[in-house]
Amino acid sequence: MFLATAKIYAANANSSNQIHVYEYTFGALTVHVKNPLEAYPNQTISMNITAEASATLIINYTAIELYTFNNSTLKDEKFDSIIYVDEEAPVLIFGGKSLNETCYNVTIPDYASNVVYGKLVLLWMEKGTEESTTYRRESTFIMAYLRNPELEGLRSRVPELERENIELQENITSLNNSLTELLNNLTDVKNRYEGELSGTRSAITVLAITTISFLASTAFLFLRKPKQYW
């Protein structure tokens, strides 16, 4: 006869101020939980809880146990518990009425990672029949997704690193062009001076041959000169 339903609503996923709304319904009882959909480790967030009834109920106990994954141990662990209705002070709620919405501040531990999830624990009794019917239900749901400041910091640097990479590539291209121009200039200078040195060596060779020929001719003429006797 009774159907238990759990609904999750969220604002636009691109919004940084999105709100997560969790709704659990079983029989005549509906519980609403609202909190930010995204959060950071070591951040304090606000949670709002309210309950409404479609029949006369006695709510004996309503609590949300908070869990997260420990970044060090890689295990999930309970880090807080919110009691909306205490067992020592049951609340009577008439059909069509709701309990006051209550806000709680919750600090997410610094070791938390990935997600924060809650376990909704309910204990209530339905009146209006010859015999009261007692219900106990538990429902686990994802409350908030945890953001990683270090990862976001690295992501924020991506555009800057891309710009630096483009500038570096442009500088490398400019340097390569300068080196190519310098090498071409050195080649021109080398070819020019090699030509000049080659011409100088040829001139020196011709001068040496001419000088040797002159000396040889002089020596020959000197040797052929007739001797005079006194």
Rg (CA), the chain: 48
Q: How far apart are CA 187 and CA 180, in angstroms?
A: 11
Residue 85 is predicted with a pLDDT of 96
The size of the chain, in residues, is 230
In the beta sheet, which residues pair with residue 7? 23
In the beta sheet, which residues pair with residue 130? none
Which of 26-40, 90-104, 119-133 is least confident?
119-133
User: Are the C-beta atoms of 31 and 120 separated by less than 8 Å?
Assistant: yes
CA dihedral angle for residue 20, residue 24, residue 29, residue 32, rounded to 10 degrees: -10
pLDDT tier at 3 (50, 70, 90 boundaries)?
A: very low
- What mean pLDDT is reported for the chain? 82
Report the candidate in 20, 21, 27 with the shortest Cα–Cα distance to residue 5: 27
